Amino acid sequence: MARTDWQGKRVLVTGATGIVGSWLCRELLAQHADLTVFVRDTDPQSELYRSGDIQRASVVNGELEDYDTVERALNEHEIQAIFHLGAQTIVNTALRSPLQTFRSNIEGSWNLLEAARRLPDLVERIVVASSDKAYGSQENLPYNEEMPLNATHPYDVSKSCTDMLARSYAMTYDVPVTIARCGNIYGGGDLNFSRIVPGTIRSILRGERPVIRSDGNYIRDYLHVQDAVSAYLLLAEKVDSKEVRGEAFNFSTESWVTVREIVECIRKQLGSDLEPDVQNTAKAEILSQSLSAEKAKRVLGWNAEWDLDRGLSETIAWYQEYLGKA
């Protein structure tokens, strides 16, 4: 990953214990940023803790729904750059408890953006992590950034709202914010085993049949975590550009696969003959999703560096070490 001048920059990462947050923190520390993380729950299995990176960062404990804590984090730590990854990210959790998801994802986002608006002499750049799910179901694929946000299900709606809030603060108050829309981000360190990649790997390593909750024909866009990290850093670096501030960008390998296909890729790499258990019980999920990264390539000069085979190979090796199973 190309190095840029993050040395000494005072950076806040929300959602730092998640898969992307953990790897982003690692990269920022490698580039000698002055890192602060916003953490709700202590998760000792998170890469942020397992790697020891938490010991090299300032820690603010609290919830994004608490405005005073958010503003205190920015003000007292004199934050210059924010990577806003903090959110409730599991579709089924959102389906069971939409109110909690709306509070975390929507209220948490407006609190962060409002605190940044009130501290213009400090905050220079903000990247808001969104999702392809903000687009909802569309007749034509792949998604491009000119399409309307058409979400209907709770998690998807929470991401659409976050996008619109970010754009509102950029256009109305000139808050230096930009938006990243990624598909399914995978890689070592994802401990949400209800997701297809870590869940499939763990099941096979345990000698169990991998579970597919849908009918297996849902099309998804998979992006390796290292590509997501490079995308977020690049957006932050370019937010002063009029082509970037207030804009949303898709990030994708533009190689889309069905759920059955990604399970088959994992089975092949692990040499497994365990057939998937196709349950076809998924609810409130979009049938087909794919992203065009043309805008990111044209405006930012970004390109994905990890194809699916390489990304899965690295990811499987991580879980083999983590689970102690070769």
Handedness of CA 102, 233, 28, 175 (dihedral sign): negative
Classify residue 138 by burial, with Cβ atoms within 10 Å: 0-12, 13-18, 19+.
middle
In one-letter notation, the amino acid at residue 200 is: T
**DSSP 8-state class, residue 186:** E
Q: What is the CB neighbour count within 10 angstroms for residue 305?
A: 13
Q: Which domains does the chain have, with CATH numbers?
A: 10-187+222-254+290-305 (3.40.50.720), 196-218+255-288+315-323 (3.90.25.10)
Structural tokens at position 223: 């992006």
Contact of 298 with 150, CB cutoff 8 Å:
no
H/E run at residue 251: strand 248-251
Handedness of CA 306, 310, 316, 319 (dihedral sign): negative
Cα–Cα distance between 288 and 42 in angstroms, integer?
A: 35
Contact of 117 with 173, CB cutoff 8 Å:
yes
Structural tokens at position 306: 């990890």
User: Which amino acids are annotated catalytic?
Assistant: 155
> Chain-centre distance of CA 63, in angstroms?
18
Contact of 86 with 105, CB cutoff 8 Å:
no
Cα–Cα distance between 240 and 217 in angstroms, integer?
A: 41
Note down pLDDT in tens along the chain; length 326 residues.
444 589 999 999 999 999 999 999 999 999 999 999 999 988 899 999 999 999 999 999 999 999 999 999 999 999 999 999 999 988 889 999 999 999 999 999 999 999 999 999 999 999 999 999 999 999 999 999 999 999 999 999 999 999 999 999 999 999 999 999 999 999 999 999 999 999 999 999 999 999 999 999 999 999 999 999 999 999 999 999 999 999 999 999 999 999 999 999 999 999 999 999 999 998 888 999 999 999 999 999 999 999 999 999 999 999 999 998 65
Nearest CA among 326, 68, 29 for reference residue 204: 326
Contact of 183 with 311, CB cutoff 8 Å:
no
